[in-house]
Amino acid sequence: MRETSNFEPRTSNRSWRRTLWIVWFAELTSIIGFTVVIPILPLYVRELGVTDPDAATFWSGVVFSAHAVAMAVMAPIWGTLADRYGRKLMVERAMFAGAVLIGMMGFARSVQQLALLRALQGMLTGTVTAATTLVASTAPRERSGYALGILQMGIYTGAAVGPVVGGVITDTVGFRAAFLTTAGLLFTGGTLVALFVREEFHPVAGSSRRGWGALRESLGPVLRRRPLLGAFGVRLMMRMAGRLLGPILPYFVEQLAPLAPTATLTGVVRMANAAGGAVGALTLGRLADRIGRRRVLLACALALVGLYTLQFLVRDVVQLAALQAVTGLAMGGVLAALSATLASLAPEGHHGAVYGLDATVVSGANAVAPMIGTAISVAFGYRATFLGAAFLFSIALAVASALLPGEGREARRRRD
């Protein structure tokens, strides 16, 4: 039996770069697939027979939240399993399960079936978390901003391409074709990881407990670190703010341009946001390694407060898309800096637990934010949702200022 050490060895320079680029391409493919269908889900709710506007808005929130609640419950469990059995296996699980479940959504006969399949998707998928854990556990810590920025660039690039592809497919061929396209792309991503990624994985010594004991053993060292809890708080506020618009964006686009093809225009707006995010993740991720992750995060959070306030005033889709592009740039910087911060603060051998908890925080925000967004829009109108997002970003800015460590303190922690 192979003896395990207390710490996982970091892979060689060539190996971690090879893993990074294979996972980057697989995640790019998968995110294109996911974002083919995510923007059209509110429209698919109407296609399934929910025609009343308020009911359609409600069920759109349920469809988004069902996925998020299920993922929030399962993410720490998958993270613990990743630390025990390998991160590559978790990427394969997420991509192949997504291929099956999203393919089935194209054959749903009611909005209740769609909500159930979305809940199952939340339980069994989570490609971003799985891929981030794999990359973070193999890249050198001093290059984590660069590596995770590259991965975020792939995620944002996929998110830029997918909505437009999904909108065009939906407007020209139909909803079912969009879901089947996603299934094929996710299967492709999973196959790439299965065939070409070689993980040098060694579980942490002493991890012999099972069940809830294993979960407590995995999460305990993470939950005892105050800076990590601060980072999770920032992630919660950031994600809630960014997801307030999810269920209502197609309807707001339709309000701005009632005679235009809504699915395609919604895809264009999301593409603008994602394209900006790809640029921000790459450039600001590298900058964060040089000048400090906290500085980049605070500057981007402040910019997001102003950008969402400006979007309250837009009068056409062009203005909305332009501001969403700059918003994506700032959000890309936030995500790259925050992901690198989590990697640097993670106890050695507990990257799966850290990113599993991070996924729970993200999923909790995904569950709550659509309902808050729909409640704001029903009570005060679609535009008020932008002000709600700006308010949440301001809270994230305050939490980051108070709780995230500066680079000097972080460096001392690593030396200790």
What would the pLDDT profile of 125-154 be if each residue is shown by its tens digit?
Answer: 999 989 998 998 888 877 777 888 899 889
The residue among 341 and 304 whose pLDDT is bigger is 304
Query: Two tokens at 256?
Result: 């701005």
Q: How confident is the model at residue 5 (pLDDT cuts 50, 70, 90)?
A: very low
The residue among 229 and 302 whose pLDDT is bigger is 302
Which residue intervals of 2-143 are DSSP H helices? 13-37, 41-47, 53-85, 87-105, 111-124, 127-138
Interatomic CA distance for residues 65 and 265, integer angstroms: 24
Query: Two tokens at 110?
Result: 């009611």
Q: Is the pLDDT at 4 greater than 80, yes or no?
A: no
Q: Average pLDDT of 293-312?
A: 94
* Cβ pair 174, 307 in contact under 8 A: no
Interatomic CA distance for residues 362 and 186, integer angstroms: 21
DSSP 129: H
The residue among 358 and 393 whose pLDDT is bigger is 393
* Cβ pair 338, 346 in contact under 8 A: no
DSSP 345: H
Q: Is the pLDDT at 8 greater than 80, yes or no?
A: no
Question: N- to C-terminal Cα distance for the chain?
Answer: 32
* Cβ pair 59, 247 in contact under 8 A: no
Q: How confident is the model at residue 82 (pLDDT cuts 50, 70, 90)?
A: confident
* Cβ pair 278, 332 in contact under 8 A: yes
pTM (2 decimals)? 0.76
The dihedral region occupied by 16, where left means phi > 0, alpha psi between -120 and 50, and beta the remainder, is alpha
* Cβ pair 267, 39 in contact under 8 A: yes
Instruction: Indicate the helix (H) or strand (E) that contains 403.
Output: helix 384-403
* Cβ pair 247, 42 in contact under 8 A: yes
The residue among 72 and 406 whose pLDDT is bigger is 72
* pLDDT score of 215: 67
Q: Is the pLDDT at 318 greater than 50, yes or no?
A: yes
The dihedral region occupied by 349, where left means phi > 0, alpha psi between -120 and 50, and beta the remainder, is left
Q: If you write DSSP's letter for every residue of 204-252 in order, what string do you get?
A: PTT----HHHHHHHHHHHHHT-HHHHHHHHHHHHHHHHHHTTTTTHHHH
Instruction: Indicate the helix (H) or strand (E) that contains 365.
Output: helix 351-380
* pLDDT score of 2: 39
Angle (deg, nearest 10), helices 53-85 and 87-105:
150
* pLDDT score of 261: 81
pLDDT, one tens digit per residue, over 329-348 is 999 999 888 988 888 888 77
Query: Two tokens at 217?
Result: 């053993």
352 Cα distance to chain centroid: 15
Residues 6+ apart with CB under 8 A from 335: 152, 277, 281
* pLDDT score of 48: 94
Q: Average pLDDT of 291-303?
A: 92
* Cβ pair 358, 15 in contact under 8 A: no
Q: Domains (ranges, CATH) in the chain?
A: 13-415 (1.20.1250.20)
Q: Average pLDDT of 199-209?
A: 65
* pLDDT score of 213: 60
Q: What percent of the chain has pLDDT over 90?
A: 42
Q: Average pLDDT of 371-395?
A: 92
Interatomic CA distance for residues 305 and 334, integer angstroms: 13
Q: How confident is the model at residue 206 (pLDDT cuts 50, 70, 90)?
A: low
pLDDT, one tens digit per residue, over 227-254 is 888 999 999 999 999 989 877 888 889 8
Q: How confident is the model at residue 65 (pLDDT cuts 50, 70, 90)?
A: confident
Q: How confident is the model at residue 410 (pLDDT cuts 50, 70, 90)?
A: very low
